[in-house]
A = this chain, B = another copy of it.
Amino acid sequence: MEYLKKFRELQKKQNAYNYILNVVSWDSATEAPRGAFQRRAEMLGIISGEVFKLYTSEEYQEVVNGLFKELNTFDDATQKEIKRAKKALDKVVNVPKNEYIEYNKLISLSQKVWEEAKANNDWNLFKGNLEEIISFTRKFIKYYNTEMVPYNVLLDGFEEGMTMKEYDKFFKTLKEDLVPFVRRVLKDGKPLKRDFTEDSFDPKKQKEFCDYLVDVFAFDRDNGLMKESVHPFTWGTHPTDIRFTTRYLENFVFSSIFAAIHELGHATYEQQVDQKWNDTELNGGTSMGIHESQSRFYENIIGRSKAFWEVHYPKFKELFPKELKDISLDDFHRATNKVEASLIRVEADELTYSMHIMIRYEIERKLFSQEIEAEDLPRVWNEKMMEYLGIEPKTDTDGVLQDVHWSAGLFGYFPTYALGSAYAAQFYYTMIKEINIDELVKSNNIKAINDWLKEKIHKHGGSKNPQELLLEVTKEEFNAKYYVKYLKEKYTKLYL
């Protein structure tokens, strides 16, 4: 019990450091002036050194290893905590401090460099940073002292229990069962009556609509907020402080709307985690994949449903009467589900989205089996785009530079996006047995849907792993067939 007490104390301190570092990173992503980044990197370098000490101190090691030895004497939740802490400790404890500091400095600088490279379509500006990040990542995996092959270490790091074996099976189902359907829709799908999706829509009014959506989804504004950033994301340190961003593109109005709804899904999850998990290892969401299932559920299953726009299209049309003059509700709803082979993942439609993920999965796989290097990426990227989607980006901005993830050292993360969509479909088929989603959406009562999600999924925080949660909620193990079924039903109705 002495160890546990000490563990709680050290955890609290780690949380305090994580809190302030999170605030700095929110500031950096949403408003800090350009010129500040060098100084920030320097200051963060110093603080990262302190954090590293916290996570690797002899005291902390003794406490975690001590608890791990007495594992069986604790309740289930505490056992889970201890295992997670032990796993994290084993990952970090062998990384030399100077390399850890250097890496964090690199990551902090690389965000800025990536932003500039993307803005100026300048792959060479970013290439050196990416090479360094990859090299650090490969080196760090060796320190982890694990039996797993490198890419599996990364995959498992974002979604416990998922390795290339499971993902290969998942993507195989999609390739065999979904890809032919996607090809058919792309070839034979009825076109939109008039495609307004790239017309000009005043960003200020887009912002007004997104602000309206925050309330539609019953987001708790006393404990969170929406802001703007280059790349939309959700940020949180505690259920009382959950924030998210969207972005306003004049000629892509659906970008702001569906990014906002997507991030609202993440943010609502975080707000609804039971506060009893605060300051434990089981706070926040279950896993990346489960988190993404919530954002995809909001974005695609609610946000792109007919029921949703039945209620909210009038408000939207009120803001843009000229732009939408000849667009009926049905036209509009079909447009929100427009299918096309496209370049940008975050703006890809629901149906082709997983193709974008497969491309990244295959690239990362080869990067960490060292079959390719950073310098090969623009070429390989474009080849895979051609292979899966039959198109090729004209610029690296629209190609290999489009995602923030690699500049932040996030390899193995992308596959959880596709997994999330598949989880969402599996949850969906359980939900409709218990509540009438369509009716609730139509009566503008998303709060009731949030309540279901809270009770079944959100409140548990990280106290269950993805497999446990899925089994408990859906009474079945993960099964990609639900995802394929959902997509086929929806898009057959809309396009064939």
Contacts and interface: CB of A to CB of B under 8 A. Distances in A.
Interface in A235-254: 237-238, 240-241, 243
A432 interface: no
Interface stretch (A17-25, A377-385, A474-482): A17-25
A443 interface: no
Contact of A221 (B21, B24, B33, B223): B33
A224 B21 CA distance: 20
A34 interface: yes
Contacts of A13: 46
Contacts of A15: 43
A495 interface: no
Nearest to A36: B241
A254 to B, nearest CB: 26
A20 B39 contact: no
A222 B34 contact: yes
How many copies the complex holds: the figure is: 2
Contact of A240 (B23, B39, B243): B39
Given A33-B221, A33-B225, A222-B33, A238 B39 contact: yes
A38 B240 contact: yes
Nearest to A16: B46
Given A24-B23, A27-B26, A16 B35 contact: no
Contacts of A46: 12-13, 16
A159 B13 CA distance: 36
A16 B44 CA distance: 7
Contact of A36 (B32, B47, B223): B223
A371 interface: no
Most chain B C-beta atoms within 10 Å of own C-beta, residue among A36, A50, A243: A36
Given A16-B43, A20-B20, A46-B16, A31 B225 contact: yes
A175 interface: no
Interface in A150-189: none
A27 B16 CA distance: 16
Contact of A20 (B26, B32, B36, B43): B43
A101 to B, nearest CB: 12
A409 to B, nearest CB: 21
A221 B33 CA distance: 7
A240 B47 contact: no
A40 interface: yes
Contacts of A17: 47
A241 B39 CA distance: 9
Contacts of A222: 33-35
Contacts of A36: 223, 238, 240-241
Contact of A223 (B35, B40, B50): B35
A10 to B, nearest CB: 11
A243 B224 CA distance: 23
Interface in A42-64: 42-44, 46-47, 50
Given A33-B225, A35-B222, A36-B223, A47 B16 contact: yes
A24 B35 contact: no
Nearest to A271: B35
In order of increasing CB-CB distance, the 6 nearest A-B pairs are A36-B241, A35-B223, A16-B46, A35-B240, A19-B43, A16-B43
23 contacts: A13-B46, A16-B42, A17-B47, A19-B39, A19-B40, A20-B21, A20-B23, A20-B47, A26-B27, A27-B27, A32-B241, A33-B224, A33-B225, A33-B240, A35-B220, A35-B222, A35-B224, A35-B240, A36-B238, A38-B240, A40-B241, A43-B237, A50-B50
Interface of A: 12-13, 15-17, 19-21, 23-24, 26-27, 31-36, 38-40, 42-44, 46-47, 50, 220-225, 227, 237-238, 240-241, 243
Given A17-B47, A20-B24, A33-B222, 14 more contacts: A16-B46, A16-B47, A20-B20, A20-B47, A31-B225, A33-B224, A33-B225, A33-B243, A34-B223, A35-B240, A36-B238, A40-B241, A43-B237, A50-B50
